């Protein structure tokens, strides 16, 4: 059972600028420990990121959704977020509050979040789930972001971008060798082009790899997950953003957004009646982050049933 740090009673905050934490992910719990101090690293329309000496956290209203780095809050201040907090301002945990800019967020009532447990599943249930996912994605799939897997028949699949064929082919080889006594060596230089691929806070290539790491945990392939992260981790510095590195590190522990875990749980258990809604929920995770993470996760699930992967790249050429 996950326990929250023992926070002291909060001190009063300016009227209208005090929020109340409603939920907190496991990475955020580590970061927002009593006495931690750091700074605001990024401010967006509905959330902001802090980096403390104890780690990263993303803070926003309840509609941000649960996730490993997320602190979601009730009584979120009205108006532009940048009127309350700015990049570079001090962030600290003091007297049970997260203080950042003009915001004070009471932490004591935050409910710890962990991904929902996946019930019984087998290859038959997974096969049903993947078939239902193919149907759902035909209706839901965006035409933006890095990648989404097509159906088994390859329908509506554009040609692979030639510059990305090799990283995907090497990942396919690694995932297909699931029964090998000696798994194939990881040639990290072949996978590295996916790191930082695409624009945005968490580039599409990173989201794809993050989804892949989460799914490896769910299907019991943590050894492959750990080997892959050990190879990729040193290359993340300089190839992608600090915020994206924090999300990838969480994925390497098997932790993704609540929306991703909800969708993967439905797919694995073959809950066909839930899959379309669960996949639609991924549209709320970043611009295309939810979709790209699903694509990486599906590559693992397909390999688990078929021993091979089919990749489809949709959207613009990231160059």
Contact by Cβ (8 Å): 279, 140: yes
Q: So what's the pLDDT on residue 142? A: 59
Q: So what's the pLDDT on residue 306? A: 65
Q: What angle do CA 31, 35, 40 make, to 5 degrees?
A: 55
Helix (H) or strand (E) holding 106: strand 103-106
Contact by Cβ (8 Å): 197, 207: no
Q: Give the single-character DSSP code of 104.
A: E
Residues of the chain whose pLDDT is less than 70? Answer: 1-17, 141-164, 177-183, 306-319
The CA distance from 54 to 28, in Å, is 9
The upper half-sphere exposure of residue 143, i.e. CA atoms within 13 Å in the direction of its Cβ, equals 3
Chain centroid to CA 299: 16
**Domain residue spans of the chain:** 18-112, 123-306
- SS3 of 43, please? strand
Contact by Cβ (8 Å): 153, 294: no
Q: Is 159 exposed, middle or buried (0-12, 13-18, 19+ CB in 10 A)?
A: exposed
Which structure tokens are listed for 62?
A: 């309840």
Residues 6+ apart with CB under 8 A from 230: none
Of 106, 89, 23, 97, the C-alpha closest to 61 is 23
Contact by Cβ (8 Å): 100, 91: yes
Direct distance between the N- and C-terminal alpha carbons of the chain, in angstroms, rounded to an integer? 45
Of 298, 287, 279, 305, the C-alpha closest to 138 is 279
């Amino acid at each position: 059972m996950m326990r929250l740090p023992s926070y002291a009673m909060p001190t009063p905050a300016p009227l209208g600028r005090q929020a109340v934490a409603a939920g907190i992910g496991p990475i955020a719990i580590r970061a927002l420990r009593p006495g931690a101090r750091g700074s605001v690293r990024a401010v967006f329309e509905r959330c902001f990121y802090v980096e403390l000496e104890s780690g990263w956290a993303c803070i926003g209203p309840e509609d941000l959704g649960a996730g490993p780095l997320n602190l979601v809050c009730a009584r979120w201040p009205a108006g532009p977020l940048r009127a309350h907090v700015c990049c570079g301002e001090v962030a600290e945990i003091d007297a049970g509050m997260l203080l950042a800019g003009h915001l004070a967020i009471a932490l004591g009532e935050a409910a710890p979040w962990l991904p929902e447990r996946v019930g019984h599943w087998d290859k038959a249930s997974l096969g049903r789930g993947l078939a239902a996912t193919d149907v759902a994605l035909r209706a839901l799939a965006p035409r933006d972001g890095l990648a989404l897997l097509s159906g088994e028949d390859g329908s509506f699949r554009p040609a692979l971008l030639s510059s990305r064929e090799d990283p995907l082919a090497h990942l396919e080889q690694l995932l297909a060798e699931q029964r090998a006594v000696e798994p194939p060596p990881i040639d990290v230089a072949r996978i590295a082009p996916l790191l930082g691929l695409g624009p945005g806070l968490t580039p599409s290539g990173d989201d794809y790899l993050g989804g892949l790491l989460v799914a490896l945990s769910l299907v019991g392939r943590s050894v492959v997950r750990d080997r892959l992260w050990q190879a990729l981790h040193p290359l993340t510095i300089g190839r992608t953003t600090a915020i994206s590195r924090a999300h990838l590190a969480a994925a390497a522990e098997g932790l993704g957004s609540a929306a991703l875990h909800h969708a993967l749980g439905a797919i694995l258990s073959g809950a066909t009646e839930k899959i379309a809604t669960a996949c639609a929920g991924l549209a709320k995770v970043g611009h295309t982050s939810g979709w790209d993470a699903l694509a990486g996760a599906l590559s693992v699930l397909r390999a688990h049933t078929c021993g091979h992967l089919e990749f489809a790249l949709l959207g613009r050429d990231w160059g």
